[in-house]
Amino acid sequence: MSKYDVIVIGGGAAGMMAASRASKRNKKVLLVDQKDKLGSKILITGKGRCNITNGCDIEDIIKNTVRNSAFLYSSIYTFSNMDIIKYFNDNGLETKEERGKRIFPASDKASHVRNAMLNDIRKSGVDIRYNTRVSALLIENGVISGIKTDEGDIFESASVIVACGGKSYPMTGSDGSGFLLAKNAGHHVTALQAGLTGLNCKEHWTQDAMGITLKNVTLTAVYDNRKLYSDIGEMIFTHFGVSGPLVLTASRYFLDTGFDKASVIIDLKPGLSDEKLYDRIGRDLLENSKKKFENSLHKLLPSNLIDPVISLSGIDREKQCSQITKEERNRLVYTLKNLTLKVQSGRGFDEAIVTVGGVDTKEINPSTMESKLVKGLFFAGEIIDIDALTGGFNLTIAFSTGYLAGDNA
Ligand SMILES: Cc1cc2nc3c(=O)[nH]c(=O)nc-3n(C[C@H](O)[C@H](O)[C@H](O)COP(=O)(O)OP(=O)(O)OC[C@H]3O[C@@H](n4cnc5c(N)ncnc54)[C@H](O)[C@@H]3O)c2cc1C
């Protein structure tokens, strides 16, 4: 039986930051993870580039945090986005800022982010145990005394930080087992939902458009005629419907309304007013006046989108361009600016960027991350019921809450 000052369960972004901070306070720290490497999820973040944090004002971090944003104040003011950038710079990782103030490693390599943290905790003398799954928290009379592993090993400590992540992309190790540990300690776990996902759509034509990426389109998320979200940016058609940055954000809004009356409306030409688009189509029709209508749209649309758009407009594809009426031209304008897809559901946890829901924030002290129910038990990262939109905000939550837990454990 080994004794530590602090035990951290889970070597993701939150757990590694917690271990780093605790060891810098001269604590004897053990970090256990059930996988054979640390930071498996970091490696797949930002399409392998890792959007570490965001360079915006702290108030904007709070605004981009969807659930329980007020819970974040203490941790983000203790260890802010600027502190996160400094931490990585101090640990040899150069960073750069991109569109929307997103911060990335200058090398564009998520592995460099993970390695910077790993080197830091190794240098700080943190004991790391791989392939070690924690099956129980040892609690006596409301006070933590250690952990028990699947193999039956016991490690003693008066402080245990649970940083097991959520249950999205379970192959990275975040398989939801942390929620069971929390529940067995008496904590409530709010309903868990797959957050920031692609959207399954009822229309089948997206399969024909599969793989088409649209940049600079406007996507509006609508529920029962109520506009929930609208932004300009990038999206992609897939075999199941739609995905990409705009769609991931839209999906988060539908989690709060449900999907039964959900749709997304895509404006394929947000840079052109209805009138300008009408004139532009007029010019294309004139240029192709002797051709069939279906052969006149190549300048306006990617080829795989032409068929679906013609079908949706209801215009006869065989009609000669010179025969297209004003009313038909208006219909085409409407279709291009209001391409509507009915949403069936979001994608599941296997493809979710984040888990929505988690350990109830009412039962955690936001100034220390310590449980209000069990002395010496701390939580950090995605396991807590707090989530944010894309832009580096979810890692920011993991790093900030991890630091605060490591500062107090
Ligand atoms: C594809 C993808 C892309 C993303 N891109 C970004 C991005 O660019 N920017 C951003 O801000 N956010 C991004 N996110 C979200 C972000 O990665 C997570 O919110 C964040 O990594 C959560 O960190 P965490 O430390 O709380 O949990 P995790 O990183 O999930 O770590 C949890 C760790 O706990 C271990 N563990 C779990 N249970 C046990 C147990 N019982 N015993 C022992 N060990 C256990 C796991 O093996 C794992 O290593 C992305 C997520 C995904 C899936």
User: Which residue has tokens 């949403």?
Assistant: 343
List C-alpha distances in Å: 178 to 135, 139, 388.
9, 15, 20
Is the distance from the beta carbon of residue 248 to the nearest atom of ligand 1 less than 6 Å? no
Q: Which two tokens stand for residue 115?
A: 């390695």
Domains annotated on the chain, with CATH: 2-193+354-408 (3.50.50.60), 198-347 (1.10.8.50)
Q: What is the pLDDT along the chain (409 residues), one digit of tens a residue?
A: 679 999 999 999 999 999 999 999 999 999 999 999 999 999 999 999 999 999 999 999 999 999 999 999 999 999 999 999 999 999 999 999 999 999 999 999 999 999 999 999 999 999 999 999 999 999 999 999 999 999 999 999 999 999 999 999 999 999 999 999 999 999 999 999 999 999 999 999 999 899 999 999 999 999 999 999 999 999 999 999 999 999 999 999 999 999 999 999 999 999 999 999 999 999 999 999 999 999 999 999 999 999 999 999 999 999 999 999 999 999 999 999 999 999 999 999 999 999 999 999 999 999 999 999 999 999 999 999 999 999 999 999 999 999 999 999 9
Is the distance from the beta carbon of residue 9 to the nearest atom of ligand 1 less than 6 Å? yes
Is the distance from the beta carbon of residue 370 to the nearest atom of ligand 1 less than 6 Å? no
What lies within 8 Å, CB to CB, of 260 at 6+ separation is: none
Q: Quick one: 401 exposed, middle or buried, by C-beta within 10 A (0-12, 13-18, 19+)? A: buried
Which atom of ligand 1 lies nearest, measured to the CA of 352?
53
Distance CA 134, CA 396 (A): 25
Are the CB atoms for 332 and 313 separated by under 8 Å? Answer: yes
Is the distance from the beta carbon of residue 41 to the nearest atom of ligand 1 less than 6 Å? yes
Q: Which residue out of 164, 192, 249, 252 has the highest number of ligand 1 atoms within 8 Å of its CB and is therefore the one to mutate?
A: 164
What lies within 8 Å, CB to CB, of 273 at 6+ separation is: none
pTM (two decimals): 0.94
Are the CB atoms for 167 and 355 separated by under 8 Å? Answer: yes
Is the distance from the beta carbon of residue 400 to the nearest atom of ligand 1 less than 6 Å? no
Q: Which two tokens stand for residue 175?
A: 């398989």
Beta bridge partners of 248: none
Q: Which residue out of 21, 168, 394, 399 has the highest number of ligand 1 atoms within 8 Å of its CB and is therefore the one to mutate?
A: 394
**pLDDT > 70: percent of the chain:** 100
Distance 31 CA to ligand 1 centre (A): 15
Which atom of ligand 1 lies nearest, measured to the CA of 14?
25
Type of residue numbered 185: A
Distance CA 12, CA 355 (A): 15
pLDDT of residue 12: 98
pLDDT of residue 217: 97
Distance 12 CA to ligand 1 centre (A): 5
What lies within 8 Å, CB to CB, of 303 at 6+ separation is: none
Is the distance from the beta carbon of residue 398 to the nearest atom of ligand 1 less than 6 Å? yes
pLDDT of residue 268: 97
Minimal-distance CA residue to ligand 1 atom 10: 392
Is the distance from the beta carbon of residue 358 to the nearest atom of ligand 1 less than 6 Å? no
- Angle among Cα 186, 196, 114 to the nearest 5 degrees reads 80
- Angle among Cα 110, 229, 258 to the nearest 5 degrees reads 95
Is the distance from the beta carbon of residue 49 to the nearest atom of ligand 1 less than 6 Å? no
Say if strands 377-379 and 160-162 run parallel, antiparallel, or are unpaired: parallel
Distance 49 CA to ligand 1 centre (A): 15
Helix (H, G, I), strand (E, B) or coil at 145: strand
Are the CB atoms for 136 and 184 separated by under 8 Å? Answer: yes
